[in-house]
């Protein structure tokens, strides 16, 4: 079971049966994940220059990510530049490792089979006493797997309810007074996550991670697990209308701009209600479940 690479048995049970809405820390110990995707292995991967340039982010708080040209030469990842940036205090984020490392591809597929949720894996290599990303929140559950060093996670309760992609993402609704208010109040929870520990970080929780130790770097993997929602189910329920030519007909400019546009919306809504009521849900359920186990990307 792939989840057991990330979490101990009680953590796997919590995730699969309860799906916690508050952060939880678990002692994971060392698993095959730690052995295969070690700090040394990730640093060696960086040194090869094989990391896809568009999957690298280089950031040092409080500044935004550097332009990709900062770590590229002749359009390709330059490992010497990356190493210099890391030595200068920048966090190196290696994105979507499930696309390029076979072991993580297998792990990611296993997680999807166990949960029905697609997912991706990022690695964060942060120098001693430094910080990459600052305060923000995400729109999916994250399992933070600390593999080397210690990272301090300052956490605040969600400001928005159940954020999703394209709805209440932190960058879409951001206000400049957020960080001063959080820092003035102090975190609701503070966790020092050590190597061999994992943190469940539910969507919406504000987090401000940084390395306090000035002697040892930090390496952690973030497994972002994209929860399915009723919006996803609704998309699946109406997907079949494409087979009806009525729904594929052209909406003329006069239909869109004319006075009768609301009437057109009403007619389409009524037709959709009729379509949905006629669906055989027992027949549809296996294909929707199969989609949950295989779809890798999502829009909501």
Instruction: With respect to residue 198, please indicate whether it lies within any of the assigned structural domains.
Output: yes
Q: Is residue 300 part of a domain?
A: no
What's the rounded Cα separation, in Å, for the pair 22 and 189?
10
For residues 56 and 203, membership in a common domain is answered with yes
Are 236 and 123 part of one and the same domain?
no
Number of domains in the chain: 2
Do residues 137 and 39 both lie within one domain?
Answer: yes
DSSP secondary structure letters along 109-131:
HHHHHHHS--EEEEEEEE-TT--
Whole-model pTM above 0.95?
no
- Whether 299 maps to a domain, the answer reads no
167 CB neighbour count, 10 Å cutoff: 13
Residue 172 and residue 81 in one domain: yes
Is residue 65 predicted with pLDDT exceeding 70?
yes
Residue finishing a domain among 180, 201, 227: 227
Whether omega before 21 lies within 30 degrees of 0, making that bond cis, reads no
250 and 205 in a common domain: no
Is there a single domain that holds both residue 65 and residue 140? yes
Phi, psi for residue 84 in degrees, rounded to 5: -65, -40
Q: Which domain holds residue 76?
A: 3-227
- What confidence tens digit (pLDDT) does each residue in 193-213 have? 999 999 999 999 999 999 999
Q: Which residues contact 154 (CB under 8 A, 6 or more apart)?
A: 187, 189, 190, 207, 208, 209, 210
Task: Judge if 125 and 274 occupy the same domain.
Answer: no
User: Which of 176, 197, 227 is the endpoint of a domain?
Assistant: 227
Judgement on whether residues 173 and 265 belong to the same structural domain of the protein? no
Mean pLDDT of the chain: 95
Please tell me whether residues 189 and 244 are part of one structural domain: no
Radius of gyration over every alpha carbon of the chain, rounded to an integer in angstroms: 22
The per-residue pLDDT for range 247-288, each reduced to its tens digit, is 999 999 998 998 889 999 999 999 999 999 999 999 999 999
User: Per-residue pLDDT for 299 more than 90?
Assistant: no
Per-residue pLDDT band at 114 (split at 50, 70, 90) = very high
Residues 8-44 pLDDT 10s: 999 999 999 999 999 999 999 999 999 999 999 999 9
Are 131 and 256 within one domain?
Answer: no
Whether 187 and 216 map to the same domain: the answer is: yes
Residue 212 shares a structural domain with residue 276:
no
**CATH code where residue 214 lies:** 2.60.120.650
171 closest CA partner among 180, 160, 182: 160
């Amino acid at each position: 079971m792939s989840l057991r690479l990330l979490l101990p048995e009680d953590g796997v049970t919590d995730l699969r049966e309860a799906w916690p809405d508050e952060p939880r820390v678990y002692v994971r110990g060392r698993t095959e994940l730690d052995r295969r995707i070690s700090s040394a292995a990730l640093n060696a991967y960086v040194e090869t220059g094989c990391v896809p340039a568009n999957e690298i982010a280089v950031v040092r708080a409080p500044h935004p990510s550097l332009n990709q040209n900062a770590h590229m030469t002749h359009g390709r990842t330059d490992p010497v530049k990356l190493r210099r940036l890391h030595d200068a205090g920048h966090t190196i984020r290696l994105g979507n490792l499930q696309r390029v490392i076979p072991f993580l591809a297998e792990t990611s597929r296993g997680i999807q089979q166990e949960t029905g949720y697609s997912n991706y894996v990022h690695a964060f290599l942060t120098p001693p006493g430094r910080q990459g990303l600052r305060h923000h929140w995400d729109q999916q559950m994250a399992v933070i797997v600390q593999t080397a060093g210690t990272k301090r996670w300052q956490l605040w309760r969600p400001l928005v309810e159940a954020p999703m992609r394209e709805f209440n993402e932190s960058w879409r609704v951001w206000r400049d007074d957020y960080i001063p208010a959080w820092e003035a109040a102090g975190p609701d929870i503070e966790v020092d996550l050590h190597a061999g520990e994992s943190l469940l970080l539910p969507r919406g929780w504000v987090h401000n991670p940084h390395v306090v130790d000035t002697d040892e770097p930090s390496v952690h993997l973030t497994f972002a697990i994209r929860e399915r929602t009723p919006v996803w189910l609704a998309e699946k329920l109406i997907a079949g209308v494409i087979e009806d030519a009525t729904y594929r007909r052209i909406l003329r400019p006069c239909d869109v701009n004319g006075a009768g546009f609301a009437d057109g919306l009403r007619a389409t809504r009524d037709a959709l209600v009729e379509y949905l009521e006629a669906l055989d849900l027992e027949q549809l359920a296996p294909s929707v479940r199969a989609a949950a186990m295989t779809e890798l990307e999502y829009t909501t």
